[in-house]
Structure 1
């Protein structure tokens, strides 16, 4: 399965005017502890300001509107399994089209995400401890109810919608060299890498060392199951990467790097202390790759002098209370 730039362009036309254009903020050396003497340009894509608090709104809206246009939205509505953000986006997009959304989440999902789901009018079902548990239950519900099953990341419409973010970034920063993005199952990454490759922009994929689905797949040459054990697992805790993500990484020559939970936690606190940005651990994961002062092979990313880099801060559905301790 392969995603094309044409898919992303179609998604942009479909959801244009219904999502919030990405806000960009300039960074500086205080944001990257390991920056070289000439750090070039550093930018943050503040996508956590999107509807529902994450980039997921783009893919969900593209999915719902595509099926609406095709006349394939059933009376039973839509259903999705999600660690939280995809469910929020699906519920938001469905509500906008007058469609019922039934969302399955692991019982470990953050309460802030569960509360917001109820606020969007979704039917919420909590079970199991990992995303895979919720996914199995969602499959069963779709089969018995007739609901249209969406996916948190493994769907071309979802990935294409996410890719519209890169199209907006390029429009605002046409001379960009590199985009850095956190990876879970790979929906955001597939869209970003596909669009970035079209524009001649290099992509750096960042994962927690114990949630390394894409990194492990690229090493093995095929999708493989990995352990899921990270502070960012609620958003990045996929057991395996999608074919869409693997193909996009191989085709674009994306660089895959890992970071530790300690780096993620420290970076999230830096974003709060220096910029008053309260983001998810998943969002901090991308920037964490640039904050390591002692880069090891496969660990972190050090921009070249003069390199123009954009970090995607992908979501902020988080409890900020631990930032104040």
Structure 2
């Protein structure tokens, strides 16, 4: 039997992350409303995590990791297609650390500019996140820097899981929670926060189905990535932590089309003046397209996870 690379995460780890992060991150609000689905209006609760510092939930995990870093830590290296790099740059600046982000050539200029705005050094390497991550590993070893991972570190996942604890406090009952999936850090963190009491559902583009493919194969597998949301959901393989958590807590995966994601993003802007990036609208697309149909009397929670986008594309 293969040994786990990381220790298994539990709700207590997420609760510890909340204590560490208190005063450093926003407790983002929820919004009770309706979204138009194929059969009419669907009652939902939107978790407005796109209002988090840096416009991304990933600040939670990066800060959780850096607040626990050894005192001798002076520099940070991370590979990212966008949001994790923004979060690492912001968290590093708050901690007085230098930060280098290795991005693939496809990284959006809007997100690179946000990294620069927080003082990060940005290096381009390769055409995919996987290629950028391999170079980041080499660079961190060469510089003796602390290396963060966009989604597959215990501190990163535990920090993201605080979103789940907040939902638990803000919403009555135990409704299902729909979460967009890339490498799986957010969906795993929320599932760990809820434990066996929760129903967490991952939503992925057809063109970046890391969790869906892994659950079908029974293990993480590489997938081809081609999606309008690939700058944020561009991992080619689900993280080891997310895979273990998904199997332990029976996390489901739903697939949506790029067209549905684009429509959901436009709908959020048109109806609510909410600006999110495609990844931020992916979970909404499951409701609007009918990929997820709530049971009678059910009001699912839908996490809007990121807002780093070029406004001209709306």
TM above 0.5, yes or no, is yes
Aligned to 2:266: 269
> In structure 2, what is the Cα distance between the partners aligned to 1:279 and 1:35?
25
Relative to the length of structure 1, the TM-score reads 0.92
1:217-236, aligned counterparts within 5 Å?
A: 217-236=214-233
Aligned to 1:91: 89
1:126 to 124, 132, 157: 124
1:34 to 35, 38, 48: 38
Which structure ranks higher in relative contact order (CA pairs < 8 Å, sequence separation ≥ 6)? 1
Q: Residue 254 of structure 2 contacts residue 286 of structure 2 at CA under 8 Å; is this kept in 1?
A: yes
What's the offset of the Cα at 1:12? 0.5
Aligned to 2:63: 61
Gaps of 5+ in 2: 1-5
> In structure 2, what is the Cα distance between the partners aligned to 1:254 and 1:119?
37
Q: Residue 14 of structure 1 contacts residue 65 of structure 1 at CA under 8 Å; is this kept in 2?
A: yes
> In structure 1, what is the Cα distance between the partners aligned to 2:61 and 2:21?
9
> In structure 2, what is the Cα distance between the partners aligned to 1:151 and 1:237?
14
What's the offset of the Cα at 1:106? 1.1
What's the offset of the Cα at 1:140? 1.1
Aligned to 1:51: 53
Q: Residue 210 of structure 1 contacts residue 228 of structure 1 at CA under 8 Å; is this kept in 2?
A: yes
> In structure 2, what is the Cα distance between the partners aligned to 1:7 and 1:161?
9
What's the offset of the Cα at 1:308? 2.4
> In structure 2, what is the Cα distance between the partners aligned to 1:173 and 1:150?
32
4+ residue stretches of structure 1 with deviation over 2 A? 34-37
Relative to the length of structure 2, the TM-score reads 0.95
> In structure 1, what is the Cα distance between the partners aligned to 2:126 and 2:203?
27
Question: How many residues matched?
Answer: 308
Gaps of 5+ in 1: 294-299
CA-based RMSD of the aligned residues comes to 1.3
Aligned to 1:158: 156
> In structure 1, what is the Cα distance between the partners aligned to 2:39 and 2:91?
40
What's the offset of the Cα at 1:196? 2.3
Superposed CA deviations along residues 277-297 of structure 1, whole A, max 9, x for unmatched, are 11010011111111124xxxx
Establish whether residue 289 from structure 1 lines up as the match of residue 286 from structure 2.
yes
Q: Residue 184 of structure 2 contacts residue 238 of structure 2 at CA under 8 Å; is this kept in 1?
A: yes
Aligned to 1:113: 111
SS in 2 for 1:74: coil
> In structure 2, what is the Cα distance between the partners aligned to 1:95 and 1:52?
12
2:177 to 159, 176, 179: 179
Aligned to 2:16: 10
Superposed CA deviations along residues 71-107 of structure 1, whole A, max 9, x for unmatched, are 3x433x0110011111111111111111101111112
Aligned to 2:212: 215
Q: Residue 217 of structure 1 contacts residue 224 of structure 1 at CA under 8 Å; is this kept in 2?
A: yes
